[in-house]
Amino acid sequence: MQLTPGRWGDPAHPVDLPTAAVDALKHLGVRRTDAEPVEPVDRPGLTADQLSFLSQVVGNDHVASDLESRWAHTRGYSTTDLLRDRAGDTSDMPDAVVYPASHDEVQDLLAGCAEQDLAVVPYSGGTSVVGGLAPSRRFVTVDLRRLDQLVELDEVSRTATLQAGVRGPAAEALLAERGYTLGHFPQSYEGASIGGYAAARSSGQSSAGYGRFDQMVVGVTLATPRGTIELGRAPMSAAGPDLRQLVLGSEGAFGIITSVVVRIRPRPTERHFEGWRFESFDTGLAAVRRLAQDGPLPTVLRLSDEVETAVNLADPDVLGGGSGGVLAIIGFDGPYNQATADVLAAAGGTNLGVEPGELWRVGRYRAPYLRDPLLDEGALVETLETAAFWSRIPALKAAVTEALVGALGATPPLVLCHISHVYETGASLYFTVICAQSDDPIEQWRTAKRAANQAIADAGGTISHHHGVGTDHRDAYATEIGPLAVETLRAVKQTLDPDNVLNPGILIPED
Amino acid sequence: MQLTPGRWGDPAHPVDLPTAAVDALKHLGVRRTDAEPVEPVDRPGLTADQLSFLSQVVGNDHVASDLESRWAHTRGYSTTDLLRDRAGDTSDMPDAVVYPASHDEVQDLLAGCAEQDLAVVPYSGGTSVVGGLAPSRRFVTVDLRRLDQLVELDEVSRTATLQAGVRGPAAEALLAERGYTLGHFPQSYEGASIGGYAAARSSGQSSAGYGRFDQMVVGVTLATPRGTIELGRAPMSAAGPDLRQLVLGSEGAFGIITSVVVRIRPRPTERHFEGWRFESFDTGLAAVRRLAQDGPLPTVLRLSDEVETAVNLADPDVLGGGSGGVLAIIGFDGPYNQATADVLAAAGGTNLGVEPGELWRVGRYRAPYLRDPLLDEGALVETLETAAFWSRIPALKAAVTEALVGALGATPPLVLCHISHVYETGASLYFTVICAQSDDPIEQWRTAKRAANQAIADAGGTISHHHGVGTDHRDAYATEIGPLAVETLRAVKQTLDPDNVLNPGILIPED
């Protein structure tokens, strides 16, 4: 799938809002504005020398400086990104897009960009929702889509070497030919690619079974302006710090990941999804914690809170003709595991059968599509997420909700929440916020987000469980790890990227 | 257990070699030398100003500059360390030992040591076998034994905050009072402590069930000369690189770990150990790989090769009256899992019952004790280990064995090998080497070790799966990660320890 600016998903398959949803928005005070998108206006690009350098490295046919190509690579897919797209805001637009075909071409680009006074933004799927593609100075986008090969599949070790530009579905297709799966299905799956998963520490909807992407990576190759780093001679090692984990999450600030070696698994021959009802989020929380700590974990494990359950279920009868309660979804890659169901039942859950599970499965990538028509209708809709240790989860959830409601008081919001990633010691919390747009929806959201960030910090959560840092979370991230850790990151960057060519202003606050 | 210089283990409980073993050594050409250990001779210590600074920080009673204390903190427990201990070699002896009682005291020591021109070696259990306590200049040892508290136990999150100086058995005792276990049982268990486990990426004998120590750590506090870093607000995060994994394995070169937050589990109420026989190491390898990749994994999973099986089993009847074959040990914390046994049986294994399992359990910390009487008898005995992806394991094992046999040709060695840590994508290999000592056993071993290191590098293994880098592996480590990664580590060290106070010469080659 090739994403288009300003709208998520395949333009050939737009998603319409149900009439009931449009009606429901009216209760939030949402009013359609019918503003037409503003067309972007071009601005000066690169010098002839700069274009010549880029062409020398990747070939004439693989440098694009036309408006359409550049606009298509402008920023990511946060709601403020979409609003700025609609406003024709070109301030984050790259000056050119280059399409290298190999690690060596990436390496040559990085080695030469400083001399050409070019900053570089690595571009994998372009699906950042945290300002990860918006550097602090003019730049060339390095689109990695031509690095699209399955380089090696080691069936004995169950590892695959995948180039950074392989999109999620392409990776699955390449592995499926050999009977394997990666098992990484983030909501950005259709658009994002391997390099981005690695650079941003992605986590997918099957994380309970397959783990996070950073747990799948056993090897990584990084091109930097100073040369190449190759890491990973064994699954685990006591040979010093795990430098793979310094590259994972570096968001293009230390180098461009050109390939990774990932753990793969046999492709399951059956899958099962089903819904469970709990009386309240608290009882559901106790149940999913029990599974996370004592098992057996399913492959997919999700728990919506009361508000999300009510909003998402068009048909409340799914909850067993019930009044209230919350919905959990479990999924198995492979045989159904009765022991998992027994734990949920013992914790007070009611099995709702396959229907809600299948509903979730079919719509699992659909949420971001819905945002576009919601914005069209005049709603402000955005998501944010965090993670913490189990004992902090209830207070963290309450604090973030309260902060959002407080900050958006003039346009009372719906705040939906779910848990979708669990660990023995903690879990993620994922929030969706819907309210009426104010006159300045970008500033409206930024204010709300600042309040949420502060609430996360105060309640002991991390600023991101799987969206990453980008520019949106940069300051909160610096506060989270502290000034000495920030200095450490700067020292790493200074070593690998002494001219600040790579993603300037992303991840690490500039001096 | 307090270790003593020159001999492993509790001096009140020495281990004698079986007579049969002494006889067997003769076949290797081993001859007892009856050389008496040389007493260490004192050398000048610190200036009055330096001692005064140390006393100011930790109090007079917690600074030791007497010979006995210093000698007791001299180097670790590699065979070359033991041989140098026996030779009375004081070249690695600290100039003083200090015993801080808190994070703040550690922090104050580090902040002041540069001005006092003192290097610092953090000392946890002192069980390094890779030269991890032997810096390149004169130094003060910071013994962390007074940081011995269980600071917090969060039963909801199943995490425990443990100070760095808590020894393995003490940690288990503290957790057992509350019904929990850490599940970390390395061979150094009786002597090593929490801070060392973290700093050196330890892995224990129950790693198949509990994971490595670096997988247990969810939070870490690091004192550095520049200040304190605290990491870990959630089990996992997408907020930048995982800096915990930069601290874990830093071996005291970046700072002193003063406490960690670790994942804990309910203490099992039953345990089961049993032995299995396979026709050959290759068939056993296929079986343990099957368990590692498709499960269900036991808590303990070990596979000895033919030589190790023959040497370790005093009674070959344990193998079912068999001729040849190899021994595997499996163990369960909790109920016996028949499904695990079924996988082993399907892979050609024969269940030998509980006797060999119990023999292993009872003797599980005994191997290092045996080294002392072996050295007394004139044998050279040492271990080394590596890890790699599964597809490389057979060639890696053959290459290391061949390198050791080749390098020790004048004193033909026995080379024993086992697998004791498995992952979906690979495993560790642990070698034990026994031969007659030459006239210069230290140089004899160093030559053999260089050959083994080269073989590991050539065959695609990592230089250490769980022993660490120290000084012994420093150059091999630098080659493994490459010059740019070494520069990156240096930049991190320069940021946190600009005066090179911490463990100079350990982990990272000095400029």
Give the pLDDT confidence of A453-464 residue by residue, as tens digits: 999 999 999 999
Compute the radius of gyration of chain B from its Cα atoms: 23
Residue A237 counted as an annotated binding residue: no
Instruction: Cite the residue boundaries of each domain of chain B with CATH code 3.30.70.3450.
Output: 271-362
Q: Is the pLDDT of residue B421 over 80?
A: yes
Instruction: Cite the residue boundaries of each domain of chain A with CATH code 3.30.43.10.
Output: 19-143
Residue A257 counted as an annotated binding residue: yes
In Å, how far is B17's CA from the nearest CA of chain A? Answer: 31
Q: Could you give phi then psi for residue B423, rounded to 5 degrees?
A: -135, 170
**Residue A423 is nearest to which of B236, B250, B423, comparing CB atoms?**
B236
Q: How many CB atoms lie within 10 A of CB B134?
A: 24
pLDDT of residue B23: 82
Amino acid residing at A474: R
Please state which of the ranges A192-196, B7-11, B204-208, B324-328 shows the lowest mean pLDDT. Answer: B7-11
Q: Which residues between 175 and 234 in chain B have a beta carbon less than 8 angstroms from any beta carbon of chain A?
A: 200-203, 212, 214, 218, 224, 226-231, 233-234
Q: What is the mean pLDDT of residues B152-170?
A: 98
Flag whether the pTM goes above 0.90: yes
Q: Which of B269, B488, B489, B508 to mutate to test the interface with A (most CBs of A within 10 A)?
A: B488
% chain B with pLDDT above 70: 97
A350 and chain B in contact, CB less than 8 A: no
Report cis status (omega within 30 of 0) of the bond before B296: yes
pLDDT of residue A321: 53
Identify whether the C-beta of residue A470 lies closer than 8 Å to the C-beta of residue A132. yes
Amino acid residing at A360: W
Computed over every residue of chain B, the mean pLDDT equals 94
- Find chain B residues with C-beta within 8 A of A266's C-beta: 294
User: Rounded to an integer, what distance in angstroms lies between the CA atom of residue A435 and that of residue A8?
Assistant: 20
Q: What is the mean pLDDT of residues B414-442?
A: 97
B251 and chain A in contact, CB less than 8 A: yes
Instruction: Pick out chain A residues at pLDDT < 50.
Output: none
Compute CA A364 distance to the chain's CA centroid, rounded to the nearest angstrom: 14
Report cis status (omega within 30 of 0) of the bond before B394: no
DSSP B4: B
Task: Kindly state the tokens that stand for A232.
Answer: 């990973």
Quickly name the fold that domain A19-143 has. Answer: 3.30.43
**Could you read off the pLDDT of B451-492 as tens digits, one per residue?**
999 999 999 999 999 999 999 999 999 999 999 999 999 999
**Bridge partners, residue A427, by sequence:** A388, A422
**Residue B485 is nearest to which of A229, A467, A481, comparing CB atoms?**
A229
Identify whether the C-beta of residue B351 lies closer than 8 Å to the C-beta of residue B456. no
B282 and chain A in contact, CB less than 8 A: no
B291 and chain A in contact, CB less than 8 A: no
Residue B209 counted as an annotated binding residue: no
User: Rounded to an integer, what distance in angstroms lies between the CA atom of residue B248 and that of residue B264?
Assistant: 18
B465 and chain A in contact, CB less than 8 A: yes
- The beta-strand segments (E) located in B82-155 are 96-98, 119-123, 139-143, 150-154
From residue A391, alpha-carbon distances to A425, A455, A459, B159 in Å are 9, 16, 11, 10
Q: For the domain with range B42-143, which CATH number is right: 3.40.50.720, 3.40.640.10, 3.40.50.10090, 3.30.43.10?
A: 3.30.43.10
In Å, how far is B368's CA from the nearest CA of chain A? Answer: 20
10 Å CB burial of residue B440 (0-12, 13-18, 19+) is exposed
CA dihedral for A387, A389, A394, A400, sign (positive or negative): negative
User: In which band, very low, low, confident or very high, does the pLDDT at B321 lie, cut at 50, 70 and 90?
Assistant: low
Q: Is the pLDDT of residue B323 over 70?
A: no
The number of C-beta contacts closer than 8 angstroms across A and B is 272
From residue A159, alpha-carbon distances to A364, B53, B428 in Å are 27, 54, 17
A336 and chain B in contact, CB less than 8 A: no
The length of chain A, given as a count of residues: 511
Identify whether the C-beta of residue A494 lies closer than 8 Å to the C-beta of residue B491. yes
pLDDT of residue B20: 77
- Find chain A residues with C-beta within 8 A of B231's C-beta: 481, 485
Q: Is the pLDDT of residue B43 over 80?
A: no
Task: Kindly state the tokens that stand for A73.
Answer: 């690579």
Inter-axis angle of helices B441-458 and B393-407, to 10 degrees?
150
Q: What is the ipTM of this complex?
A: 0.96
In Å, how far is B370's CA from the nearest CA of chain A? Answer: 25
Q: How many CB atoms lie within 10 A of CB A234?
A: 27
pLDDT of residue A219: 98
Q: Which residues between 422 and 441 in chain B have a beta carbon less than 8 angstroms from any beta carbon of chain A?
A: 423-428
**Bridge partners, residue A259, by sequence:** A163, A221
pLDDT of residue A364: 87
10 Å CB burial of residue B355 (0-12, 13-18, 19+) is middle
From residue B510, alpha-carbon distances to A356, A487, B51, B482, B505 in Å are 61, 21, 27, 15, 6
In Å, how far is B399's CA from the nearest CA of chain A? Answer: 16
- Expressed in percent and rounded to 5, the helix, strand and coil fractions of chain A are 35, 20, 40
User: Rounded to an integer, what distance in angstroms lies between the CA atom of residue B317 and that of residue B488?
Assistant: 54
Q: What is the mean pLDDT of residues B264-282?
A: 97
Identify whether the C-beta of residue A187 lies closer than 8 Å to the C-beta of residue A364. yes
| CATH class label, A271-362 | alpha beta
- Find chain B residues with C-beta within 8 A of A230's C-beta: 482
Task: Check if B430 is active-site.
Answer: yes
Instruction: Cite the residue boundaries of each domain of chain A with CATH code 3.30.465.10.
Output: 150-266
**Could you read off the pLDDT of B327-359 as tens digits, one per residue?**
999 999 999 999 999 999 999 999 999 999 999
User: In which band, very low, low, confident or very high, does the pLDDT at B33 lie, cut at 50, 70 and 90?
Assistant: confident
Nearest to A351 by CA among A338, A333, A365, A366: A338
User: Rounded to an integer, what distance in angstroms lies between the CA atom of residue B456 and that of residue B467?
Assistant: 15
Quickly name the fold that domain B150-266 has. Answer: 3.30.465
Identify whether the C-beta of residue A468 lies closer than 8 Å to the C-beta of residue A62. no
User: In which band, very low, low, confident or very high, does the pLDDT at B363 lie, cut at 50, 70 and 90?
Assistant: confident
From residue A216, alpha-carbon distances to A202, A236, A250 in Å are 11, 12, 16
Three-class DSSP labels, B416-480: EEEECCECCCEEEEEEEEEEECCCCHHHHHHHHHHHHHHHHHHCCCECCCCCCCCCCCHHHHHHH
Q: How many CB atoms lie within 10 A of CB A474?
A: 22
Give the angle subtended at the CA of B91 by the CAs of B90 and B92, to the nearest 5°. 90
From residue B209, alpha-carbon distances to A425, B206, B424 in Å are 16, 6, 13
**Residue B157 is nearest to which of A265, A390, A494, comparing CB atoms?**
A390
Active-site residue set of A? 430
